[in-house]
């Protein structure tokens, strides 16, 4: 905002002066809407004369209005072009993986030597690692927020204010406490694995502060721009756990099979409930005790018995049915492998064009088509871009090679042996091995109940 401009308008409204004198009309405003509102609308009503010396604009001169309107249009077009040019520069920086935002995401800070590069903030990064670890252990967002608050850990907003990372940050009425939304944003943020993600929102217009959320395919994603806080395997495991659409039991904890158990008849996810003996059961969500029409039969099973049954099956599966020579326990290739390979092909094509352009530029210099100064300036720009392309191609090659590297057989055997030593099967193992668990309806006469486990491998 322009506080002095607003003060001038208030004084004009109160008729404290009779003339507004400017060097040019653009110094008053470049917005055509404000030109019409004040110069041609309110100023005559308030008895204010407007004069722009360099533009020969004067509201007391008859026939001068069209010239002022044309000047207003030209000034607005200039502002619009300037906005587009600035946006293009920002987009170029985003494509190159340069950070162009204000205060970085919690866990990082700007590099003092390069404001477009992020470095790890050790204190905040340790909190981020703890949040991901708790999520791997099956703790819900609300429970994680509660544990952070119990330990007196300052929320990201409060932390930035205390450390001077966001002096002009808008103060929220959260008393410096964590909440489940903040935890969710951290767990979902790919910035923590070294991927620069920008362009999630976009301003509607240079005239407005309103922003719109951009679809994910319009985001700017660049791998390997900064040091990761969380490794890719941990991040993917957390995403898989969250994608199961689990629900907590009110304490922030989720049971080991949450989101995996399905009704054998209708396919809906079974939810946890308790009976009057305080025993926990899983029951089909489409069966209800209300007076509404029931869409499925009463599929129910004791949770502790189901966990015990599935745990035995998992142990037997790992001990007897899990063929390490056939199973692929190596880290899964990132879902963006094809995207990275496509990017590398495009960058290599661009690199060839740059090399050809450099040769052509030298020929122009020798032939005298361009001067030595022009050649030196253009050559520097070409070499800088060529160097950037080569660095990015090397980064992509290293990432693809890392994903393609096979895991040694002795490592796989050691991993299997560790699983067999566990006293209680952790939720991470259920999620890693089981696609879904199907529970049928109990036979009222025999008491038998069919349970099917669909394995991922």
Domain-by-domain residue ranges, the chain? 3-95, 108-242, 261-330+410-455, 337-406
223: number of CA atoms within 13 Å, CB side? 20
Q: How far is CA 443 from CA 72, 175, 339, in A?
A: 82, 55, 51
| pLDDT computed for residue 293 by the predictor | 52
Q: Name, in order, each residue with C-beta under 8 angstroms of 209's C-beta and a sequence gap of 6 or more.
A: 203
Q: Evaluate whether the domain defined by 108-242 bears CATH number 3.90.1750.20.
A: yes
| pLDDT computed for residue 338 by the predictor | 67
Residues paired with 289 in a beta bridge: none
What is the chain's Cα-based Rg? 32
Per-residue pLDDT of the chain (457 residues; tens, 9 = 90+): 578 888 999 999 998 999 999 988 888 887 888 888 888 888 889 999 998 888 788 888 877 777 777 777 787 777 777 777 777 888 888 888 888 888 899 999 998 888 889 999 988 999 999 999 888 877 888 889 988 988 888 899 888 888 776 554 445 555 678 988 899 999 999 999 999 988 888 776 666 667 778 888 888 888 888 999 999 888 988 887 776 655 555 455 677 887 788 888 887 788 888 877 778 888 887 765 444 555 677 778 888 888 888 888 888 877 775 554 444 444 444 445 666 777 788 778 877 877 777 777 676 777 776 777 777 777 776 777 777 777 778 877 776 776 665 544 455 455 555 655 666 777 777 877 788 888 888 887 787 888 888 887 7
Asked whether the whole model's pTM tops 0.75, one would answer no
The 3-class secondary structure across the chain, one letter per residue, is CCHHHHHHHHHHHCCCCCEEEECCHHHHCCCHHHHHHHHHHHHHHHCCEEEECCCCEECCCCCCHHHHHHHHHHHHHHHHHHHHHHHHHHHHHHHCCCCCCCCCCCCEEEECCEEEEEEECHHHHHHHHHHHHHHHCCECHHHHHHHHHHCCCCCHHHHHHHCCCCCCCCCCCCCCCCCHHHHHHHHHCHHHHCEEEECCEEECCCCCCCEEECCHHHCEEEECCCCCCCCHHHHHHHHHHHCCCCCCCCCCECCCCCCCEEECCCCCEEEEEECCCCCEEEEECCCCCCCCCCCCCCCEEEHHHHHHHHHHHHHHHHHHHCCCCCCCCCCCCCCCHHHHHHHHHHHHHHHHHHHHHHHHHHHHHHHCCCCHHHHHHHHHHHHHHHHHHHHHHHHHHHHHHHHHCCCCHHHHHHHHHHHHCCCCCCHHHHHHHEEEEEECCCCCCCCCCCEEEEECC
| pLDDT computed for residue 326 by the predictor | 46
Tokens of 150: 């119990």
Fold agreement (3-95, 108-242): no
| pLDDT computed for residue 330 by the predictor | 44
CATH superfamily membership of 3-95 = Resolvase, N-terminal catalytic domain (3.40.50.1390)
Q: Which of 36, 15, 437, 42 is nearest to 259 (CA)?
A: 437
Q: Which of 67, 69, 71, 49 is nearest to 59 (CA)?
A: 49
């Amino acid at each position: 905002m322009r506080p002095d401009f607003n003060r001038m308008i208030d004084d004009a409204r109160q008729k404290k002066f009779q003339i507004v004198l400017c060097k040019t009309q653009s110094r008053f405003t470049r917005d055509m809407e404000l030109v019409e509102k004040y110069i041609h609308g309110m100023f005559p009503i308030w008895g204010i004369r407007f004069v722009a010396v360099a533009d020969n604009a004067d509201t007391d001169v008859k026939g001068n209005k069209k010239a002022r309107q044309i000047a207003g249009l030209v000034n607005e077009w200039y502002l619009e072009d300037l906005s587009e040019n600035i946006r293009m520069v920002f987009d170029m920086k985003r494509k190159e993986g340069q950070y162009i935002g204000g205060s970085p995401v919690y866990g990082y800070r700007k590099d003092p030597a390069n404001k477009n590069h992020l470095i790890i903030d050790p204190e905040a990064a340790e909190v981020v690692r703890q949040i991901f670890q708790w999520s791997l252990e099956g703790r819900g967002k609300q429970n994680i927020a509660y544990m952070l608050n119990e330990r007196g850990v300052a929320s990201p907003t409060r932390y930035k204010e205390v450390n001077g990372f966001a002096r002009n940050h808008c103060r929220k009425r959260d008393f410096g406490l964590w909440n489940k939304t903040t935890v969710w944003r951290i767990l979902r943020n790919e910035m923590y694995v070294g991927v620069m993600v920008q362009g999630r929102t976009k301003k509607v217009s240079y005239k407005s502060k309103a922003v719109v959320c951009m679809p994910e395919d319009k985001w700017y994603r660049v791998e390997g721009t900064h040091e990761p806080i969380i490794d890719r395997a941990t991040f993917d495991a957390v995403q898989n756990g969250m994608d199961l659409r689990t629900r907590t039991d009110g304490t922030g904890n989720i049971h080991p099979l949450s989101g995996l158990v399905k009704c054998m008849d209708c396919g809906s996810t079974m939810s946890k409930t308790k009976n009057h003996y305080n025993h926990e059961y899983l029951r089909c969500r489409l069966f209800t005790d209300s007076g509404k029409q029931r869409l499925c039969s009463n599929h129910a099973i004791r949770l502790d018995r189901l966990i015990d049954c599935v745990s035995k099956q998992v142990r037997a599966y790992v001990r007897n049915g899990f063929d390490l020579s056939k199973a692929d326990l190596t880290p899964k290739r990132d879902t963006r492998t094809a995207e990275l390979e496509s990017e590398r092909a495009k960058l290599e094509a661009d690199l060839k064009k740059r090399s050809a352009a450099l040769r052509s530029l030298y020929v122009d210099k020798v032939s005298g088509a361009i001067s030595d100064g022009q050649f030196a300036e253009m050559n520097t720009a070409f070499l800088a871009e060529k160097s950037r392309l080569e660095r990015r191609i090397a980064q992509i090659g290293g990432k693809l090679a890392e994903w393609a590297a096979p895991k040694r057989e002795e490592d796989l055997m050691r991993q299997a042996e560790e699983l067999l030593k566990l006293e209680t099967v952790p939720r991470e193992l259920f999620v890693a091995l089981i696609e879904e668990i199907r529970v049928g309806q109990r036979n009222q006469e025999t008491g038998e109940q069919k349970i099917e486990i669909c394995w991922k491998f």
